[in-house]
Chain A
Amino acid sequence: MIEILRAGLCDMVMDFGRPGRGALGVPAGGAADRQALAAANRLVGNDEGAAGLEITLAGPRLRFPQGGVVALTGACFAARRSSGAAVAWNETLMLAAGEILALEHAVAGCRGWLAVRGGIAVPRVMGSRSTFLPSGMGGYAGRALQTGDLLRCGRAAKETHLLRATPPAETGNGLRVVAGPQINQFDDDGLKAFFGSAYRVGLASDRRGLRLSGAPVTHHETALSSQGVLPGSIQIPPDGQPIILGWDGPVTGGYPVIAGVITADMSRLAQLRPNDTIRFVTIEIEAARALAAKSWEIRELA
């Protein structure tokens, strides 16, 4: 059991989402960094895809009446425990009965994941426990957590060990992309702007999409019938300001797609916050495939 003493900015129950329902207009959704949630789950002895919490920019204050085994991955938040013990990231944490874990603001980055032994036991909706705010489905009552909510936990798959996780080494600069299907619809100035200048992440960004502002990416052709799109697809609407589709973004879009964020950098995308600036770097698709295979390492805590 977890008691929400004070809700954060947007705390949502997330697992690996509900892939395979795009034809109904339903995006896969789920944790913005699957690997970070998977690692947190492994640290507490859960199956990789158990439901945890995705916390964004400002975290919640949580009480564990019966204690619990938890782990935090992703963005580091200013945090403290009522026991006075340190709050380490990427490690198994044992909380005593009645202990309070207070997560404040994100020190760097945007999103963190909290796994709890047994996983968060909200009902599955369309095969997943992930919250999908646009339709108000899944998660805890289809919404972000509120102060006073009580989360029940399930049973863990494996024994508890004290473990430490190491994320894959950061490589490359900027946000790496592969060329998109409509790259030929952009003129030289547009391509120069997109690949040569910095873009700022707008305030209206969320899990549906990151709205960028900067040098306009000009088209010589804007006409396009709707096409299927996926998280990381970078659309250019008529005003030339790029939109990077997020995890809860639409499954179809009518704007030309200039490029797609590579799988390995989707975790970097999850950590962008409003007012950050980014640059796009294009790489070959084979290089992107090789980078996608890198994963977290989990070891016994010495």
Chain B
Amino acid sequence: MGKRTTGQLAAPASWHWIGERGLQVATGAATLARYEHLLKKKLPDIEDIIPTDNSILLILRRAAPVSPGVSAALSEPLEKEIDGARGTLHDFVVDYGGRAGPDLPALAKRARMSVAEYIDCHSAAEYSVAFLGFQPGFPYLRGLPTALHAPRRASPRQRVASGSVAIGEAYTGIYPDDGPGGWHIIGRTTAVLFDPLREAPALLMPGDRVRFVPA
């Protein structure tokens, strides 16, 4: 068994290796602030920086121990706290239920609500983009009312239509592309979440705010 502490320098930030090029750093509530701090540093040994809800993955260009520059950038105090919901507000018109949202009746039942109550509850909340992942441009939206949390489907669907609005655990999200998916589908929007030919390919960015408007 490999020693997981191997090669790690003592530093205030806590991290784990994922392969020899992936450095996973626990960043908690300061994830976005630390992400922006790292971006500004433009560190030459970092190939990519991937923020999620509570951690950041740094992908190093080469399999090497953590450089002093990276170590410093991970432990330096942050200039300011970044509010996770201060970005652009986007409204998405959603066709809830029916063929666009086949899992809506079951989810409403699970939440002990009528379908109409479920739609009201989902569309009354304001969400913030925690991070993008799973597919290009797929937003993990924070702020789902607790009553609507639901574990992922036992077996994923082979094909989920692009624009599908979905529920997975504590998040709601929107599938940018057609493809397999394990979240519950409650509706669909016509918005194009990812277009590689746009100047900004991903419509939503971490920190952006989102509201759903029933069609």
What is A's interface to B at a CB cutoff of 8 Å?
A: 19-26, 28, 125-126, 134-138, 178-181, 183, 191, 195, 225-230, 232-233, 250-254, 257, 260-263, 282-286, 288-289, 292-293
Contact = CB atoms under 8 A, between A and B. Distances in A.
B202 A292 contact: no
A288 B19 CA distance: 9
Contacts of A180: 16-18
Interface string B117-149: 000000000000001111111101000000000
A232 to B, nearest CB: 5
B102 to A, nearest CB: 22
A228 B19 contact: no
Contact of B53 (A183, A226, A288, A289): A226
Contact of A24 (B3, B132, B197): B132
B206 interface: yes
A134 B7 contact: no
B18 A288 contact: no
Say what secondary structure dominates the interface of chain A: mixed
Contacts of A181: 4, 16-18, 24
A138 B136 CA distance: 13
B196 interface: yes
19 contacts: A23-B132, A25-B133, A28-B59, A134-B135, A136-B177, A137-B196, A181-B17, A191-B1, A226-B52, A226-B53, A226-B140, A230-B59, A233-B19, A250-B134, A251-B134, A252-B134, A254-B169, A288-B63, A292-B62
Nearest to B16: A181
Interface string B183-215: 000000000001011000110001000000000
Contact of B133 (A138, A191, A250): A250
Interface stretch (B42-50, B71-79, B81-89, B108-116): B42-50
A228 B50 contact: yes
Given A180-B18, A227-B52, A284-B6, A24 B201 contact: yes
Given A228-B57, A250-B135, A284 B201 contact: no
B22 A233 contact: yes
Pick the most buried of B48, B54, B133: most chain A CB atoms within 10 A of its CB. B133
Contacts, number: 167
A233 B18 contact: yes
A282 to B, nearest CB: 5
A230 B52 contact: no
A282 B4 CA distance: 12
B17 A285 contact: yes
Nearest to B200: A24
Contacts of A21: 48
Contact of A263 (B7, B21, B57, B196): B21
Pick the most buried of B17, B18, B57: most chain A CB atoms within 10 A of its CB. B18
A284 B22 contact: no
Contact of B18 (A134, A257, A289): A257
Contact of B22 (A26, A183, A191, A260): A260
Contact of A178 (B2, B133, B137, B169): B2
A226 to B, nearest CB: 5
B163 interface: no
